[in-house]
Amino acid sequence: KQILNSGFDYDDPNRVNVKRRQITHFRIEHDFKEGFPILQTKKVFWNGAINELKAFLSGYTDVRELKQLKINFWDKDVANFHNCKVEEVGKQNKNYDMGKIYSYQMRNWQGQFDQIQNLVKTLRENPYATKKIVTMWNPLEVYNKEMCLSPCHWSWEALVDGDKNLTIKWNQASTDVFLGLPINIVYYSTLCHVLARLTGLKPKGIIGDLTNVHIYHNHFEAVFEQ
C-alpha cells in the first residue's frame, strides 16, 4: 500500500517499456512465534527458494547443478553472461559457469575464505561476538562483471540475544515486492532455522532492510487483488 500510495514511477533501465513504482526503503520484521512467514494468498515458489539456498550454501556456480535442483530462473542471466541463447545454457559442456555469484562469495571469497564455515564456528564458540556478517558484495568483481548477476540481497548478519535466540537480518538493494520478496523471506527464514540447527541456537525470526522497494506496473492488477 505504501508503494502504491506514495511511490514514484520510472522506466526500469533493464526492461524495455516496463515501468515500476518505487519507494526508497522499508523494513520488515517477523517473529517465528507467529509461524513461518510464507504468503498463503498467492503462489510462492517454495521449492525454488529452498533449493536456491541449498545451491548457495553448497557453493554451486555451475548452472547445471542448479538445473538438477529444478532451478531454471537463472538461465536468462547465464545466457546474457555468455552471450548465447537461453536454450544453449548448460549444454555441451559450455555456457555453464555462473561466475562469482552469491554461492562463490559465501563459500570461496576471493578464492580463499569460507564465510559460512567461519560464521558457524563463531556461532558455536562465541555466539555473542559482534559483526557476524556474511557479504556477497565484492565491489571490484561487481564492477568487472565477474558474475552473471550482481547480488540484490547483498549481505546478511546473524544476531543472537541473551537467551541464545537467533535472528537473521539481511540487506537488499533492489526489492521486487510482488515476485521476489516472498521468496527472499522464505529463503532467509529457512537459513535461520538451518543455522540454528547447526549451532544449537533457537530460531527467533528475520529482519529485512530493503531499499529501492518496487512493484512493476504489469503486476498492478495482481497486486490490487492481493
134-160 tens-digit pLDDT: 999 999 999 999 999 999 999 999 999
Whether residue 148 contacts residue 98, with contact meaning beta carbons closer than 8 Å, is answered with: yes
- pTM score of the predicted model: 0.95
| In the predicted structure, residue 68 carries a pLDDT above the cut 90 | yes
Whether residue 103 contacts residue 142, with contact meaning beta carbons closer than 8 Å, is answered with: no
CA distance 216 to 223: 10
Tell me the average pLDDT across 61-80. 94
Is 152 one of the catalytic residues?
yes
Question: Residue 93: which pLDDT band, with cuts at 50, 70 and 90?
Answer: low
pLDDT of residue 174: 96
* 210 membership: H or E segment, kind and range: strand 202-216
Q: With b meaning 16 or more CB within 10 Å and e meaning fewer, what string describes 6-19? A: ebeeeeeeeeeeee
* 183 membership: H or E segment, kind and range: helix 180-199
Catalytic residue among 84, 148, 152, 192, which?
152
